[in-house]
Structure 1
């Protein structure tokens, strides 16, 4: 849980202490990537400590991310800085497109055939599921590279059967529960914020990170199916609207903390960059 140095509102932001490596990914994705991709290790340790992640766990997680090719280290005097690798930045850019920018509703599916055995994990990571031996079905955004031979497909009939196929192929009930949990939790937080007024800069950044971490856990796994494949009253649009409102509400205060406390090799991180402004514009466009 988030440490008691912050207001009680933050203690309700997450169910439990997040996994260190996953939370560091959230920190880099939300704060660091749009500001050059580099952060001082001391800042990383401090931010993780807000959420009950110890220094030793933080250092271990960073080492694992370095081994995985996600981060690269650099020493300047006594300080260690970690930057995103080019491969990681490409992955973060793709995730940012889902988190912060409008996606056009899918009008159909993609069918993948002749997928190499060692590419199964890649397809699953992009939301595809196997529907029979050697046949995968999923959705994709323009620019995503998919293994195998891929065909675009659109249902010409049997709309109820499309929904039945989707509910059998994807764990939509699980996604529904996660979206609803996010909505209930952060609706309460939004109500508290409206009653109590603003947050201190550190609190705003901590709460924004908690929210991004919770939201990305479901939205990045959601296959973003066509509307005719989704159950009635699908909660994703409500979760999206709530995320956008709260993110925009907390950002001004969070940026005060970022520029006043977080360091890259060449000095403080910028409060705003072209990339961070583009994210806010993306959220406002929904």
Structure 2
């Protein structure tokens, strides 16, 4: 599934607006997303929705409308940058630590149970059995249960598996490895080989957006306990090679396409 226009806009802003204290002209955003097949109407609607969601601010210069990042959007983009470049998709330096969270909720608390499971899955946890969920490494799980008001119903531990425990089997029980692998296989099918875009700016934005989509909900399971030839390894190598190759051509094109003005709030 291609990235949403809002995701593509965030990729554009993350590359050329974040930490530069500038705003981008709406016409520039329409031009760039048009290179990705997004209509001008869809881009204008997306800009308006992102303002309403507190992600963008409007700033007028003469008769032109520019858009700048809010603190919330900047935090999201910094998190994505960290996820791509610092965390990565391949966990090849795992120290053997697991975070365990066990919970017991009243049967009638269906909504609370759904919210907790959703946030655990988003944070890299997988259900091992009953109310016991696990995640590799040290994960701030207490913040999840506290934020949901469930501290009295959950316990968090950090532990290491006994040497007799089959960690590979435990991983297969707790996570849908076929679904995880499928994300990276789809990325490779699209990007390994010739780029699907001739335009370097369109190619870069789509590349980064699709890669972030592939890794955002990856629990970063220890690669030593995953099937041989785990596709995330090759996919990450392909992404980083393409990203490095696309950087300067995309910057050169952006310099001639993007109309930027100083951000009056951040100056």
Give the TM-score, by structure 2 length.
0.77
Aligned pairs, number:
242
Identify the match of residue 265 of structure 1 among 256, 261, 264.
Answer: 261
Are 2:206 and 1:210 aligned? yes
RMSD of aligned alpha carbons: 3.1
Match of 1:183 in 2: 188
Aligned pairs for 1:63-78 within 5 A:
63-78=48-63
Match of 2:226 in 1: 230
Shift of 1:178: 2.0
Identify the match of residue 33 of structure 2 among 41, 44, 48.
Answer: 48
Shift of 1:132: 4.5
Match of 2:134 in 1: 137
Unpaired segments ≥5 residues, structure 1:
1-15, 194-198, 268-286
Match of 1:276 in 2: none
Shift of 1:124: 2.9
Q: Check conservation: 1:38, 1:265, Cα contact below 8 A.
A: yes
CA deviation profile, 1:169-190 (whole Å, cap 9, x unmatched)? 2222122122123223322126
Unpaired segments ≥5 residues, structure 2:
106-111, 146-154
Q: Check conservation: 1:176, 1:234, Cα contact below 8 A.
A: yes
Are 2:146 and 1:152 aligned? no
Which structure would you say has the larger Rg? Answer: 2
Report the Cα distance in structure 1 between the residues aligned to 2:201 and 2:14, rounded to whole angstroms. 13
Match of 1:94 in 2: 79
Match of 2:250 in 1: 254
Aligned pairs for 1:4-15 within 5 A:
none
Are 2:163 and 1:168 aligned? no
Report the Cα distance in structure 1 between the residues aligned to 2:80 and 2:200, rounded to whole angstroms. 22
* Mean CA deviation greater in 225-234 or 102-111: 102-111
Where 1:101 maps in the other structure, the secondary structure is helix
Q: Check conservation: 1:129, 1:169, Cα contact below 8 A.
A: yes
